[in-house]
C-alpha cells in the first residue's frame, strides 16, 4: 500500500478533534493506515503543550507535535520540549498599550511558557466552557509575571476578524496577530506561525514541504497551507482559509480527514 505524502500535518480543534475533544475511530484507523504506508503524522496546534498532552497521550501519539502556534516543538513520546520561543513581555505590553489607545480597554489572558505553563486569565477575559484548565486572576500584573508564549486578547464589541485586522494595522510591526478560533485572537512573537514550528519539526524528521499534506480550519493555518504541498480545509473552516486551500473536505464531525486519507490510500 502506497501513500503519496511523507508527512500529514493536522490541526486539532475543529479539524482532528470533534466537538467533544475526541478523535473518531474512523479517523484513527485512517491515520494508522497512512503511517503504516510510510507517512508521519504531526499535530500542529495553537494550544500550548499543557493543553495538548492529554490528547496526544490518549491517541498513543509518540512523535513530534507543534504547539503554541509554532512556538513549541514537543516530543510526545519523551514528554520533552525540544524548542520553545517566548514572547518579549516588554514588546507585548507596548503592543497592548498602543492597541488600547485605538480600541479602549481589552481583556487579556496569557499562556505561560514551559511543559506545565498555565493559562492565566485577567479581569473580564471570557473562555469558552470546557475541560481546559485556566487560572483566573483579578491582578493584571499576574499576566506578566512569568515568561509567555502568547497573549489572548478580547474586545467587548469588536468581532474576532475585526479585532485581528485592527491589531495588525496598529501593532503589526511589533508582534504578529492571528485569529485561532471563535473568540480567540492571539498576540505572538513577530514572525512566528504554525509553519515556523512545522518546518523545524519536519527538518528533524527529514521531510520536506513538498512531501506534506496539511489539514486545518482557521486563519492561523494559512501559513501551514502556504508551506505544505497540499492544504485541505474542513467544511466549516473560516472563509480566509478556504480561499487558499487546495480542496475542502467534510467537517471534523464527519471525518473529513479520514475521507481524504482513505481516498489517497485507494480505499
Q: Where are the domains of the chain?
A: 7-84+193-265, 89-188
Distance, in Å, from the CA atom of 107 to the CA atom of 166, rounded to the nearest integer, reads: 16
pTM of the model as a whole: 0.94
pLDDT value at position 130?
65
CATH number among 1.10.3720.10, 3.40.50.1000, 3.90.420.10, 3.30.420.40, domain 7-84+193-265:
3.40.50.1000
pLDDT value at position 59?
87
What is the number of other CB atoms lying within 10 angstroms of the CB of residue 110? Answer: 30
Q: What backbone torsions phi and psi does residue 92 show, to the nearest 5 degrees?
A: -65, -40
CATH number among 3.50.50.60, 1.10.10.10, 3.30.1240.10, 3.40.47.10, domain 89-188:
3.30.1240.10
pLDDT value at position 267?
74
Q: Consecutive 10-residue runs of the chain (267 residues): their mean pLDDT? A: 91 95 95 95 95 90 94 95 96 97 96 94 86 88 96 95 96 95 93 96 96 97 98 97 98 98 92
Which position has the grid cell 514572525?
Answer: 191
pLDDT value at position 127?
84
C-alpha cell at 202: 519536519
pLDDT value at position 131?
66
pLDDT value at position 181?
87
Amino acid at each position: 500500500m502506497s501513500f503519496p505524502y511523507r508527512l500529514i500535518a493536522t490541526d486539532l480543534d475543529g479539524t482532528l478533534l470533534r466537538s467533544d475533544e475526541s478523535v473518531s475511530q474512523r479517523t484513527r484507523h485512517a491515520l494508522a493506515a497512512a503511517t503504516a504506508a510510510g507517512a508521519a503524522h504531526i499535530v500542529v496546534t495553537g494550544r500550548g503543550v499543557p493543553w495538548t498532552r492529554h490528547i496526544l497521550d490518549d491517541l498513543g501519539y509518540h512523535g513530534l507535535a507543534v504547539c503554541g502556534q509554532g512556538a513549541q516543538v514537543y516530543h510526545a513520546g519523551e514528554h520533552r520540549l525540544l524548542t520553545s520561543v517566548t514572547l518579549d513581555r516588554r514588546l507585548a505590553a507596548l503592543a497592548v498599550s498602543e492597541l488600547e489607545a485605538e480600541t479602549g480597554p481589552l481583556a487579556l489572558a496569557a499562556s505561560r511558557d514551559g511543559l506545565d505553563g498555565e493559562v492565566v486569565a485577567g479581569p473580564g477575559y471570557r473562555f469558552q466552557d470546557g475541560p481546559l484548565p485556566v487560572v483566573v486572576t483579578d491582578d493584571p500584573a499576574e499576566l506578566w509575571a512569568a515568561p509567555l508564549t502568547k497573549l489572548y486578547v478580547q474586545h467587548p464589541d469588536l468581532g474576532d476578524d475585526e479585532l485581528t485586522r485592527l491589531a495588525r494595522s496598529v501593532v503589526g510591526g511589533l508582534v504578529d496577530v492571528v485569529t485561532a478560533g471563535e473568540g480567540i485572537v492571539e498576540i505572538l512573537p513577530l514572525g512566528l506561525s504554525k509553519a515556523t514550528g512545522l518546518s523545524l519539526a519536519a527538518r528533524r524528521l527529514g521531510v520536506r514541504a513538498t512531501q506534506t499534506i496539511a489539514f486545518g480550519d482557521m486563519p492561523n493555518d494559512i501559513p501551514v497551507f502556504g508551506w505544505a504541498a497540499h492544504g485541505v480545509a474542513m467544511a466549516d473552516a473560516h472563509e480566509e482559509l478556504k480561499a487558499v486551500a487546495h480542496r475542502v473536505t467534510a467537517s471534523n464531525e464527519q471525518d473529513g480527514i479520514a475521507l481524504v486519507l482513505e481516498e489517497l490510500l485507494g480505499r
